[in-house]
Amino acid sequence: MEEDTEIGIPLLGDKFPEMEVTTTHGKIKLPDHFSGKWFILFSHPADFTPVCTTEFVAFQQRYDKFKKLNCELIGLSIDQVFSHMKWTEWIKENIKIDGKPVEIRFPIIADDTGDVACQLGIIHPSKGTNTVRAVFIVDPKGTVRTILYYPQELGRNMDEILRIVEALQISDKNGVAMPANWPSNEIIGDRVMVPPASDEKTAKERLEKAKSGEIECFDWWLCYKKL
């Protein structure tokens, strides 16, 4: 790790830091490489470890679903590129789903100096050579939209990460908010939330829309609708 490497955690709404990284697919400039696409950068503690292996298989099994959402994946750990290559080779040779070998098709950053991890603030606080299980979801404009951190002993839920990307895209497109457990919310099912009124005029308009059936409301501040 270089002494002058800045240590910090990007905040929600920040631009993803510009960097050139070495990956299993060659040199990549971030976030430019994924310009016009969503992308997920996720870190794992180390290659050839059990939980991380299950995570990479799970991400790969859903890779086509991510791509349908115009979203790419890129992994990261403080390992050399040769380690990444041997590990993905091991996965392909030893892990089969429905009788088919699992081939990791997305790039993995080889951050053997730890510089990238320092820039993103994802060095495990008690294990200086490992990264935490972090997830950065970045939109097509290079803006960080979601950050997730998991402890080393807990593998991630990839379906939740897929849900986040889909929900953010729907929210952006329609100017709505997404309820808990969307699209299976306990109160309103697969409907979406209308942002709360910020003034009296809008609140009254909401109630009128509710009367006409355009939206549904429990009260002026709690309205929802079908997309």
Could you give the residue numbers annotated as active site?
Answer: 52
Peptide bond just before 31 cis, omega within 30 deg:
yes
* Residue 39 three-state SS: strand
Q: Answer yes or no: are the C-beta atoms of 91 and 52 closer than 8 Å.
A: no
Token pair 């800045």 in the structure block, residue = 6
Q: 164: burial class by Cβ within 10 Å (0-12, 13-18, 19+)?
A: middle
Helix (H, G, I), strand (E, B) or coil at 158: helix
C-alpha–C-alpha distance, residues 68 and 129, integer Å: 35
> Is residue 2 classed as helix, strand or coil in its secondary structure?
coil
